[in-house]
Chain A
Amino acid sequence: MKTGRTLLVALAVIVAGILLAKLRVNPYFYFAGYVILQYIVIATAWNILGGYAGYVNFGTPAFFAMGAYTAVFLIRSVHAPLPVLIVAGGLVAALLGLGIGYLTLRLRGTFFSIATLALAVVLQTAIINWEYVGGSRGLSVIRPSGPPFGNYVVFLFTVMGGLAVVSVLVARFIERSWIGRGLAALRDNEEAAECMGVPTLKLKLFATTVSGFFLGVAGAPFPYYVTFVEPNSAFALDYAVNALAMPMIGGTTSWVGPVIGAVLLGTASQLATVTISSEMNLFIVGVVLVAFVVLAPEGILGLVRKLRGR
């Protein structure tokens, strides 16, 4: 699709989101919808580094939680409004991405992945020891009064919808630009790309920073959604697994993949939470993930392409 048309579609989605908010369908829809939209942002963000550049980030919870805890800090200290929280959360997580990237991206990909694991542990320990944001006991946060649309969760739903559109547009832009081509080159063969003059280190740092930014952005509204933030749930392993599984299932080579993966897996998870036991839910996620990785490594997008005979 040409860029002009894409922007029109994006605008249409945003308008649809606002209409849905005004329509006030069953409230449960907004709760579940928020989570799915949040995962669209997370999956898209992860894929910028994982799918486009081929560097696997296992520490998604660290970035997400940094976004959430930056927001908590700002809420508690200066009662900052939501837009500030989002931008601040994104920036802090972006800095984190830049830092960890600088430390490890000069080495091989597996070292980066291990470092992200270690990062999550270190950050969680730091937060646990930081009383101001609640430490290990957590902190309750009160939603501001008088939100647009009358109900804060409905408001958050539209905000997250907007963030999802923005993140997807950014991912699409990166994918189609020279940055995306450079990332694809280094994903396929980093040494060859270097030899061809691709500035691999700068591109990698760019990807980690942008990826980190959007992960933080996804986490920033979290305190207002849950009203209670504590380290175990902010750093939950679910974010790590889903951030991995959604792009893998949807397809990692294009911006469409994470969206498909997030919608499918997110919806399935939400349904499973309120129907079958959630242990089985996790089991199924694991099995589906392995099945896709082994049998359909290019995800649903790849399957669709094959079906269409390309």
Chain B
Amino acid sequence: MFSWDLLANAVVAGLLIGGFYAAVSLGVGLIFGLLDIANIAQPAFVILGSYAAYVLNSSYGLDPILTGLLLTPVFYLLGAAVYRVYYTSFERRGEESLRGLVFFFGILFIIEVSLSIIFGVDYRLIQTWYGSRSIEFAGVGVAFRYLVPFVVGVAMTLALHLFLGRTFYGRAIMAVSQDRLALRLMGANPVQIKTIAFGVGIAAASLAGALLISIAPVIPSTDRDYIGRMFAITVLGGMGSIGGTLVAGIVLGIAESLMATFFGPSWSLAVSFGILLLALAVRPAGLFGR
């Protein structure tokens, strides 16, 4: 049962959700893509952001995006702290891969379980003031609930891109990801730069979490649904390319959406990961990888 109308809507819906997926994956794109640290705890930080937004929304009625932005400094400091522990325990000793991964897995677990001990397992959701509105143009309906996160996601990507390309610290991060020694020779301290990068990555999670809870209900174990997606998008987009993350997010979103509309949603999640596995086998550098 095909119609252009349906197709157009499916593509637009995929585009919008893709922007959101990209927002959620930006932290991983930065930390894993550029710093080469496999932070699998990132989804847990996103959920932490969701719960923070929920708490502030239910106590003070604050809009989640506002909360997300307000809390970025807090999350930044949290990220910096986590990186310091990671650095002293692993990077300095040169034993990153196995133990680092396990370290982050443990952090993921601790965050998830702490949230379920504190908040219980009821679904939490936020109804935003724009949440139930939608607009239509050219036969395509666009719900604000997805449009706003898409816009924020694109804005975040742009902001990060500018940060990395135009500011001193941003360029230092790009440099450290390519050549630590050269960076040292330039007079910057790689550990400090990496701390900043990690902090920014976790700060991004704060905002992403706020977006997540305004789209769908959240419980502590929601993070597991996103682990795979985040890394799939980062790898597909190409490690180290922030713009690539956005493109990959959109590609994944559209793939899921088309699958759900025309073939039945049962396989849409698997399709996304199927794409990832294929990409890894055929072109591991991703779409825009260096």
Judge whether A56 and B113 touch: CB under 8 Å: no
**With A113-B38, A241-B105, A283-B110 in contact, do A118 and B276 touch (Cβ < 8 Å)?**
yes
Judge whether A283 and B227 touch: CB under 8 Å: no
Interface residues of B, Cβ cutoff 8 Å to A: 32, 36, 38, 40, 85, 89, 95, 97-99, 101-103, 105-107, 109-110, 113-114, 116-117, 224, 227-228, 231-232, 235, 266-267, 269-270, 273-274, 276-277, 280-281, 284
Closest Cβ of chain A: how far from B102's Cβ, in Å?
5
Judge whether A118 and B228 touch: CB under 8 Å: yes
Contact with B along A229-253 (1 / 0, CB 8 A): 0000000010001001100100010
**With A104-B280, A287-B110 in contact, do A125 and B99 touch (Cβ < 8 Å)?**
no
Stretch at the interface among A154-162, A260-268, A289-297: A289-297
Query: How many angstroms between the C-alpha atoms of A282 and B113 in the bound complex?
Result: 7
**With A56-B97, A103-B277, A125-B266 in contact, do A279 and B117 touch (Cβ < 8 Å)?**
yes
- In the complex formed, the residue of B with least CB distance to A283 is B113
29 contacts across the A-B interface (CB closer than 8 A): A50-B98, A56-B98, A56-B101, A58-B101, A103-B277, A107-B280, A110-B32, A110-B97, A111-B284, A113-B38, A114-B228, A114-B231, A115-B277, A115-B280, A117-B227, A118-B231, A118-B276, A121-B269, A121-B273, A126-B270, A129-B266, A129-B267, A248-B102, A283-B117, A286-B110, A287-B106, A287-B110, A297-B89, A297-B99
Judge whether A110 and B273 touch: CB under 8 Å: no
- In the complex formed, the residue of A with least CB distance to B107 is A290
- In the complex formed, the residue of B with least CB distance to A240 is B105
Contacts of A293 in B (CB 8 A): 89, 99, 102-103, 106
- In the complex formed, the residue of B with least CB distance to A291 is B106
Chain B at the A interface: mostly helix, strand, loop or mixed?
A: helix
- In the complex formed, the residue of A with least CB distance to B85 is A294
Judge whether A279 and B281 touch: CB under 8 Å: no
Judge whether B110 and A290 touch: CB under 8 Å: yes
Interface residues of A, Cβ cutoff 8 Å to B: 50, 54, 56, 58, 103-104, 107, 109-111, 113-115, 117-119, 121-122, 125-126, 128-129, 237, 241, 244-245, 248, 252, 279-280, 282-283, 285-287, 289-290, 293-294, 297
